[in-house]
């Protein structure tokens, strides 16, 4: 699964889910490309702007009756996550059913839409409440930690009931009501579904109120803020069991000593003939220069040596970044999940910012005259199997990337423009506010197990921050093959081979 989106007002987000291999390691390649107008681009440190998170998918359903045997905190959390996963799968199916009913492929209204939505919806809600009762009720012999975890499980599953109801309501309002609805017959089904959603939400809020749990009951900003914060904290608490430990190291730091040694050797080779000329034969006396001239020659020799060292060090760093990666990343499970830290993924990451030209969309006949900066992120890695995770029904690993684009905002134009239009009387002008937005094509591709998946879109932004990503409108050019030695000669190949062996 690939997904492009906007996480907040300053960070673009892309997500990739990869199935864990069953028997042998598998390679994958993830490639993100964004074309930013050259006049708004500003250089910055890419690694400081990138945030990488990773976690395993929620465990699947275990053997029947297993919830009656749970005795530990982590076992209760796994069972709660499995119940939440089944509810999310039902939610995704319902959203697809509602979307398909109003799509262009639907020639006629479905007479069973109401039942197609309400029956699985009620089943999912009933299952969440049954699991809440089974997992949340205290039992004889529970320790204090387990009893507290059961209380948190009740609230956690109640949050998923509210989320399920709200997502279905949003899908109804978006696709079955208003201008996007293609069939007037759906209005009755929409009213019926919304009435059932309101009834279920009222029952859920009543249950939460009886237990003094924060609920979205009214337009009180303080109460709503408390509810949103509590939902976020609970989600992190339960999913914390599945998060992977991400360890990163920049290639400059890993090969710093090697780069220094090679650069010093080249610096010495560069200034050795000059030094030999100065001290060989008659030495300084043979040059017939004074003390000031000798000092200048020594300073020149030292300066040349340092410049050669810096140049060689920078050249090696750029070659390693292009051929091996600018950062090395490993992801391991937490010791609490498998009783030991197990490495599941190792990868090499690289950033490239290249200036290119694109065709002017208003006048393509002029050729490539539109300057852009192509920001490209590449991750190449290896997934490793672990049978213990398969036994726990953890089937996928989810990679979440967030990239901060706030350095670009300072160069954007004012977000609001005043546009003159003709007034209603037709005899005067009046001004209306219009947004000044910039559009950045974005393309995300994933190559894994012999298949390639692509997601594209257009990032809409303005001076106040990122707005949205319009799906399916990306026009970024296909990516180049990653990490290839390109015309730097035999020396680059030899240096890359030495570093690979190390």
Q: How far is CA 408 from CA 9, 41, 396, 411, 424, in A?
A: 12, 6, 35, 6, 39
8 Å CB contact between 423 and 436: no
| Global confidence as pTM | 0.76
Whether the CB-CB separation of 375 and 354 falls below 8 Å is answered with no
pLDDT, one tens digit for every residue, the chain (502 residues): 899 999 999 999 999 999 988 888 999 999 999 999 999 999 898 999 999 999 988 876 654 444 445 568 888 888 899 899 999 999 999 988 888 877 655 656 677 888 889 999 999 999 999 999 988 888 888 888 888 999 999 999 999 999 999 999 998 888 877 666 666 667 888 888 999 999 999 999 999 989 888 888 777 788 888 889 999 999 999 988 889 999 998 877 666 666 667 767 766 666 666 666 655 554 544 455 555 655 666 666 666 777 777 777 676 666 666 666 688 899 998 887 777 788 899 999 999 899 998 888 777 777 778 899 999 999 999 999 888 887 777 888 999 999 999 999 989 988 788 888 888 888 889 888 888 889 999 999 999 988 999 999 999 999 889 999 988 644 444 445 444 434 343 334 334 444 443 4
The H or E element spanning position 414 is none
Q: Count each helix (H run) and each strand (E run) in the chain, helices first.
A: 12, 14
Nearest to 37 by CA among 495, 487, 428, 370: 370
Bridge-based pairing of strands 2-6 and 11-19 is antiparallel
Cα–Cα distance measured from residue 431 to residue 417, given in angstroms and rounded to the nearest whole number: 9
CA distance 35 to 443: 9
């Amino acid at each position: 699964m690939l997904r492009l989106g906007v996480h907040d007002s300053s960070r673009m987000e892309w997500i990739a889910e990869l199935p864990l291999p069953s028997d042998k390691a598998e390679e994958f390649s993830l490639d993100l490309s964004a074309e930013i107008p050259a006049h708004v681009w500003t250089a910055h440190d890419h690694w400081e702007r990138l945030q990488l998170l990773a976690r395993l998918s929620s465990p699947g359903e275990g053997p029947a009756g297993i919830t009656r045997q749970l005795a530990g905190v982590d076992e209760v959390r796994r069972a709660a996550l499995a119940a939440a996963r089944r509810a999310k799968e039902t939610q995704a199916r319902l959203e697809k059913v509602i979307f398909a009913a109003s799509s262009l492929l639907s020639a006629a209204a479905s007479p069973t839409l109401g039942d197609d939505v309400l029956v699985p919806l009620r089943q999912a809600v009933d299952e969440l409440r049954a699991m809440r009762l089974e997992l949340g009720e205290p039992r004889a012999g529970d320790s204090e930690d387990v009893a507290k975890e059961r209380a948190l499980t009740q609230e956690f599953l109640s949050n998923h009931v509210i989320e399920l109801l709200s997502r279905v309501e949003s899908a109804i309002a978006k696709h079955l009501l208003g201008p996007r609805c293609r069939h007037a017959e759906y209005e009755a089904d929409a009213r019926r579904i919304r009435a059932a959603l309101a009834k279920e939400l009222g029952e859920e809020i009543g249950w939460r109120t009886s237990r003094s749990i924060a609920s979205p009951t009214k337009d009180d900003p303080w109460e709503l803020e408390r509810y949103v914060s509590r939902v976020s904290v609970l989600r992190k608490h339960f999913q914390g069991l599945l998060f992977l430990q991400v360890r990163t190291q920049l290639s400059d730091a890993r090969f710093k000593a090697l780069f220094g040694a090679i650069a010093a050797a080249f610096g010495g080779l560069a200034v050795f003939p000059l030094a030999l000329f100065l001290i060989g034969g008659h030495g300084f006396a043979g040059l017939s220069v004074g003390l000031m001239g000798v000092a200048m020659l020594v300073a020149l020799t030292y300066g040349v040596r340092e410049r050669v060292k810096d140049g060689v060090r920078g050249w090696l760093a750029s070659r390693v970044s292009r051929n091996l990666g600018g950062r090395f990343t490993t992801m391991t499970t937490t010791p609490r999940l498998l009783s030991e830290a197990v490495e599941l993924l190792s990868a090499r990451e690289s950033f490239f910012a290249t200036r290119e030209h694109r065709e002017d969309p208003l006048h393509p006949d002029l050729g490539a005259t539109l300057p852009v900066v192509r920001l490209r992120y590449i991750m190449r890695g290896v997934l490793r199997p672990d049978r213990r995770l398969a036994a726990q029904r953890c089937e996928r690993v989810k990679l979440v990337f967030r990239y901060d684009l706030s350095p670009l905002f300072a160069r954007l134009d004012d977000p609001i423009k005043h546009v003159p239009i003709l007034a209603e009387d037709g005899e005067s002008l009046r001004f209306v506010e219009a947004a000044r937005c910039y559009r950045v094509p974005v393309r995300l591709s994933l190559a894994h197990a012999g298949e390639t998946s692509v997601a594209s879109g257009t990032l809409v932004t303005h001076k106040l921050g990122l707005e949205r990503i319009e799906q399916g409108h990306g026009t970024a050019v296909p990516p180049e093959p990653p990490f290839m030695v390109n015309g730097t000669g035999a020396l680059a190949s030899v240096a890359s081979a030495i570093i690979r062996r190390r």
